[in-house]
Amino acid sequence: MWQLEANGYVLVRHGGKHDWYHNPVTNVSQPVPRHTEINEHLAKCILKILSNP
């Protein structure tokens, strides 16, 4: 997700169905599903979690 990388998150690893992103400044990590389409509600929840450490 380019929004995460633009906000300082780096891709830590590829999992089975998820990628893990980590922000070294806030020390917050979050799995992000690697699907062709992500539900809008899920995307908003992920961005909310990552933007509020």
For 33-42, what is each residue's pLDDT tens digit? 988 888 889 8
DSSP 8-state class, residue 24: T
- Strands (E) located in 1-53: 10-14, 18-23, 28-33
pLDDT confidence of residue 18: 92
For 5-41, what is each residue's pLDDT tens digit? 888 889 999 988 999 999 999 898 889 898 888 888 9
Instruction: Give the pTM.
Output: 0.74
Residues 19 and 30: their CA atoms lie apart, in Å, by: 8
- Whose CA is closest to 47, among 25, 13, 23? 23
Domain annotation for the chain: domains and CATH numbers: 2-51 (3.30.920.30)
